[in-house]
Structure formats: C-alpha cells, structure tokens
C-alpha cells in the first residue's frame, strides 16, 4: 500500500513514513466521527470549556516537544515553533472566554410572541491544511468548529503527518470525546472523494489558489459550505513620511518568519522614490545580520520545506532577473546538504515580472519603486491577490483612511506587519479566497444560523 513520506529538509533524511488509510479505514473513521459529533453536539458549553482549558495546558506543557517535531518535518526554527504552539494555546483560551457568548441564542424583537436566532453545528468539517504552520493552521479551523459542536476531520499535508498525529493526541489528552478530531492519512488526489462523502457537511482549505478552486468546485457539486484561505502577494506601502527604521523592522519580521513561507509574508515592498535609496540601504544592513542555519540551533531562518520548493523559488528569482530586476543580495543556491536558500533582495521590480505578479513562497524581498504616494496604492492593488497589506506613515489618520478605503485586502495594518490574531477575523478577497477564520466570524462560518419564531395558540 502507498505511504506518505516525511523528509527532514535540513538533512534530507527520511523522518518517518505513514501508511495511507484504505477505503475501508476511511469509511470506519468517518462513521466513528459522525457518532462522536452527535454526542458532542448535545454536550454543555461548560464541558466544552473544560476541554478547551485542558487542551491549552497540554499545548503549553509540550510546546518545546512539538517545536522539535516541526523543525524535523518542515524546518521551522525552534523558537518560532514554540511561539506557534503557544499561539494555539492562546486560541484555546480565547474561545473558552468568548465561545459561550458567541453561541448564545439572540432574541429579536418582532410582532411575534417570541423570535430568536439559534446557533447549531453543521456536522463534520473537513480541513485541508498545509505544512507551513502545521499546528496553527489546524487549530485555527478546528477549535472554533469543534467548540460550536462540530467534529473536525483533518487532511494534513503529506510531509507533516507526525504533527497531525500529535494534534490528535492533544485532543485525546485534553478529554475530548474519541474521534471528535481525526486525521485522514491520504494523498491530495483523494480529497475530492472525502468532500463528496455524505458524512462531510463543510470544507475549509488553506493552500494555493489552484488547490482552493479545486476544493470549491468539488464542494459546489454537492452543495457544501466552503471557506478558502489561499495565496497572497502582500504589498507593504512605505509612504514619504514613514519611519524607515520601523518600516524596515516590520518588513524583515513579516518576510523572514518561517523562511518567507507564509501566505501573509511581506512580498512586495512598495517604496516612494523619496525613500527608495535610504530604505534599501537600511534593509540590506538589517538583512546581513540574520543567521541562516539548522533549525535546531538559535537561528533566524532554517531551510525551506523541500529541495523542490527551494528550486521553485530560485527559478522565480532567476525569471525576475531575466525580466529586468536587479539582484542586490542572495539569489545563489548554497553548495550544501539541505533545502537552504539565502535571503534574497531584488530591486527594480515592476508589474509583469514574476516577483511582482506571482507569490514567491520563500525569503525573497521584492522592492518596487513608486513615482509618488498615489502610485504606491495603485501598485498595491495591481495584483490578483488580496490577503494582507500594510501601510507605513507618520500620519495615522491618513494611514487608517488608506487601509480602510483604498487597499483591497482582507487585512490591512498601519505601521506593523500583517499577522493573525484570535480576536480578529482572518481571510482574503479576490484570488486569496473567501470566508473568515478566527474571532466570532470564524466560528459562525460552520454553523446553522437558525431562525425560531413562536406564537400563542
């Protein structure tokens, strides 16, 4: 039978192999999950909150252990892995504090004797999740869905099946019912048949735009709700009056996290002519301080997830240079074992080049020069993507106005890099997808918002 293989991106050694579930095993898992969800849907919110509290504790206690697993399977530096797991614990704490309020009946004044809105779960939610944040992405969909009374079925990326198994153990140790969360060990080409299975009520995916389109198409044929969190080419607009040190720090943090392998990484740095030279000089100085190396050591950046991913990024860099972009630093594949790619800085990037038009999923900084401030906004919106964006300016009122009304994105930060937060909705527009995760809005994606009307006899 087929196996999924996890390869250590640092050493290129096989970490582990995982037997793919058979059709019979899949049917059994989904049947078990259906039964577990029916019991869970009738449970009290106090019981669910006690599970959330215990889950938070498990995550905090094992943060270092799980960070090492992430480093082994996909190359994330240990410190970043610990922060990822702790963020998952924060998510538990958030829904434990606010979940009951979000799920309460909401009375509505009408001419009827009684009218109210009731929130009820849909059933089993399938999550098709990526490798880049192997804990956070899973908890981001699963926690609000499960807290609302649903069950969660995970199809995790093939190379992080160890993380998937660890997450399943987390739920078990926290006292959740058996099978309320389950991971299917299957390749991507089997996702369509899982979506079509009668046990699945809704689907969410975090991944590329083509993958999102395929999931949406499959779900559409069987009329199942979808949430798509897809790619991004986030613009960071640096205006004339920006604090350049602040802007540089935010761009570096927003791009180098996870070796640039993030949908909300700072991908297009759009700078006015007034600031171009100073910004590039300061950025280059800051980048030269960063340490690339083994993710088990104290480094700023580990390897990319795989040799194939590294080579794809390199091809995109070379294509951009061939189209007229200038290489200021990096851009050369190291002659060593591991999927390492150096921090790379491209200038003179323009629309029509790969570094502008496509998502580069790696540690590549693309500097785009704008004629003036209006031009920065035009360039920011000149993209098929609309996930995140950032604006840097000393004029907070103007920055807010630009973020609110002029840049098309699901999130826009003023004087900071884009990040997800349990308290705030997360998602995109255009080819970055639709629907929202986190906050009350993420919880409401996978429920039936039910109208109840009662009148006297």
Q: How far apart are CA 173 and CA 153, in angstroms?
A: 18
Q: How far apart are CA 432 and CA 429, in angstroms?
A: 5
Closest CA to 417 of 232, 247, 233, 245: 247
Bridge partners, residue 4, by sequence: 18
Catalytic one among 163, 263, 359, 412?
263
β-pairing, 388-392 vs 447-454, is unpaired
Any idea of the CA torsion for 252, 255, 258, 259, to the nearest 10 degrees? -90
Closest CA to 94 of 430, 333, 422: 422
Catalytic one among 229, 359, 437, 445?
229
Q: Look at the block and give the residue holding tokens 């019991």.
A: 39
The question of whether 229 is a catalytic residue gets the answer yes
The question of whether 163 is a catalytic residue gets the answer no
Locate 186 and state its tokens: 């299957």
**CB of 69 closer than 8 Å to CB of 212:** no
Handedness of CA 37, 42, 43, 48 (dihedral sign): positive
Q: Look at the block and give the residue holding tokens 């538990």.
A: 92
**CB of 166 closer than 8 Å to CB of 88:** no
Q: How far apart are CA 119 and CA 104, in angstroms?
A: 7
Locate 143 and state its tokens: 């926690």
**CB of 426 closer than 8 Å to CB of 440:** no
426 CA to centre of own chain: 9
Residues carrying an active site annotation: 229, 263
């Amino acid at each position: 039978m087929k196996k999924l293989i996890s390869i250590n991106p640092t050493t290129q050694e096989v970490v582990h192999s995982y037997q793919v579930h058979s059709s019979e095993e899949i049917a059994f898992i989904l049947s078990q999950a259906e039964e577990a969800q029916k019991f869970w849907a009738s449970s009290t919110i106090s019981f669910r909150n006690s599970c959330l509290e215990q889950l938070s504790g498990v995550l905090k206690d094992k943060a270092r252990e799980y960070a090492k697993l992430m480093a082994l399977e996909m190359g994330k530096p240990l410190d970043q892995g610990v922060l990822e797991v702790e963020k998952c614990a924060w998510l538990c704490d958030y829904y434990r504090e606010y979940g009951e309020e979000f799920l309460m009946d909401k009375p509505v004044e009408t001419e009827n004797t009684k009218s109210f809105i009731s929130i009820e779960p849909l059933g089993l939610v399938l999550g098709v999740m990526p490798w880049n944040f192997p804990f956070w992405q899973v908890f981001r969909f699963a926690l609000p869905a499960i807290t609302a009374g649903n069950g969660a079925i995970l199809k995790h990326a093939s190379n992080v099946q160890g993380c998937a198994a660890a997450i399943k153990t987390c739920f078990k140790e926290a006292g959740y019912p058996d099978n309320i969360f389950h991971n299917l060990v299957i390749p991507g080409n089997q996702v369509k048949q899982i979506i079509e299975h009668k046990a699945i009520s809704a689907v969410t995916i975090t991944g590329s735009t083509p993958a999102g389109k395929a999931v949406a198409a499959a779900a559409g044929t069987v009329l199942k709700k979808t949430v798509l969190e897809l790619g991004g080419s986030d613009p960071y607009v640096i205006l004339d009056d920006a604090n350049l040190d602040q802007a540089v720090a935010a761009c570096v943090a927003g791009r180098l996290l996870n070796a640039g392998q993030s949908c909300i990484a700072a991908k297009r740095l759009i700078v006015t002519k007034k600031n171009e030279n100073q910004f590039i000089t300061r950025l280059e100085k800051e980048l030269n301080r960063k340490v690339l190396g083994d993710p088990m050591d104290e480094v700023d950046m580990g390897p990319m997830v795989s040799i194939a991913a590294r080579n794809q990024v390199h091809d995109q860099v070379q294509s951009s240079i061939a189209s007229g972009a200038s290489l200021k630093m990096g851009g050369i594949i190291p002659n060593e074992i591991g999927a390492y790619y150096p921090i790379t800085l491209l200038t003179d990037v323009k629309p029509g080049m790969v570094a502008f038009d496509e998502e580069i999923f790696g540690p590549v900084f693309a500097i785009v020069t704008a004629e003036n401030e209006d031009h920065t906004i035009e360039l920011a919106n000149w993209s098929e993507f609309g996930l995140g964006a950032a604006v840097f300016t000393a004029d907070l009122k103007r920055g807010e106005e630009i973020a609110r009304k002029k840049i098309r994105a699901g999130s826009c930060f003023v004087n900071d890099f884009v990040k997800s937060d349990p308290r705030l909705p997360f998602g995109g527009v255009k080819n970055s997808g639709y629907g929202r995760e986190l906050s009350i809005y993420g919880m409401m994606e996978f429920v039936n918002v039910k109208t109840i009307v009662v009148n006297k006899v």
